[in-house]
Structure 1
Amino acid sequence: MITPIAVRLTKGDDLKRSLQRLVTEQGIQAGSIASCVGCLTHFHVRLAGATQTLLLNEPVEIVSVMGTLTPDHQHVHLSVARQDGEVIGGHLLEGCLIDTTAELILHQYHNLSFGREPDPHTGFTELTVGLQSR
């Protein structure tokens, strides 16, 4: 069974912290981001290769957000468009601050449990998928 969770984030909310709060408040054991539309005043992501970050302090429009949500970790990628239309993105970090609004819809999967475990091949903690006992 899938339960949608819809919220509106407002000016000054931190996108990453808001996701973490929602996962805790809703008791999400396995979830994903279905949609997120809005704008940011600050944009902070880790870039490909996991060694550099990018921080912009300018207005940007959210054009894509996707990710998996576990109780202890939210793996989220974010793309935004700058005022000239250039699109940039990366791995969501704290510091992405909502400007006017962000309309966020999450999906909670009641029959699954997501976790993360170290993977010796990648050097990162990677997604694990289990079945929820009923």
Structure 2
Amino acid sequence: MKTFESDDGHVIVRLDRGDRALESLTDACEDHDVDTGVVVSGIATFSNLNIHYVDRTDLPEEQADRNVDVQLDGAWEVTNVGGVVADGEPHLHVTAFDGERMVGGHLEEGCEVNVLGEFTIRKVEGLSLHRRPGEHDVSQLQHR
């Protein structure tokens, strides 16, 4: 991983083959003191894709009963990554294509970069956010 920071608070993150995407972006937030921010762009290729998504509208109390975990091997072209950083923790969603199917969901740990990754994080000054459980135990942004 290599990072670059502009004078106006943008952090560009370059991930190389073998780097883990979410873990590296979390490290970049720590290295550049990004407490609250926005991942405004992200492209990459992954050699595996770990995501989860919600497949229900009734939202049972147990998160395990409403989330579908997906672990996919093979080459994945990541066409977009975006989300919010709150309390230094990125909450990101991803869209990816393997040549036959397009999938999307909440980015999980363990996605290894196949060829490259390029992400832009924008610090948000003057605002401190964190996530706390809300209705149905859904993690929600709140002022800290």
Please state which band the TM-score falls in when normalised by the shorter chain.
Answer: 0.7 to 0.9
User: Amino acid of the residue matched to residue 57 of structure 1?
Assistant: D
TM-score (norm 2): 0.82
Q: How does 1:6-85 map onto structure 2 within 5 Å?
A: 6-49=12-55, 50-84=66-100
Task: Give the secondary-structure state (helix, strand or coil) at the position aligned to 2:104.
Answer: strand
User: Amino acid of the residue matched to residue 9 of structure 1?
Assistant: L
User: Amino acid of the residue matched to residue 138 of structure 2?
Assistant: F
Task: Give the secondary-structure state (helix, strand or coil) at the position aligned to 1:112.
Answer: coil
Structure 2 counterpart of 1:93: 108
Count of residue correspondences? 128
User: What is the deviation of 1:40?
Assistant: 0.5
Aligned with 1:104 (options 83, 102, 119): 119
What per-residue deviation string (whole Å, max 9, x for no partner) do you get for residues 23-61 of structure 1?
Answer: 111111211111111210010001224422111110010
Q: Check whether the contact 1:27–1:71 (CA below 8 A) recurs between aligned residues.
A: no
Task: Give the secondary-structure state (helix, strand or coil) at the position aligned to 1:69.
Answer: strand
TM-score (norm 1): 0.87
What per-residue deviation string (whole Å, max 9, x for no partner) do you get for residues 2-25 of structure 1?
Answer: 511112100111111011101111
Of 18-27 and 49-58, deviating more is: 49-58
Of 46-55 and 97-106, deviating more is: 46-55
1:129, 1:66 → 2: CA distance?
A: 21
Q: Which segments of 5 or more consecutive residues in structure 1 lack a partner in the other structure?
A: none
Q: Which segments of 5 or more consecutive residues in structure 2 lack a partner in the other structure?
A: 1-7, 56-65
User: Amino acid of the residue matched to residue 29 of structure 1?
Assistant: D
RMSD: 1.7
2:28, 2:76 → 1: CA distance?
A: 23
1:72, 1:25 → 2: CA distance?
A: 10
Runs of 4+ in 1 over 3 A off after TM superposition: none
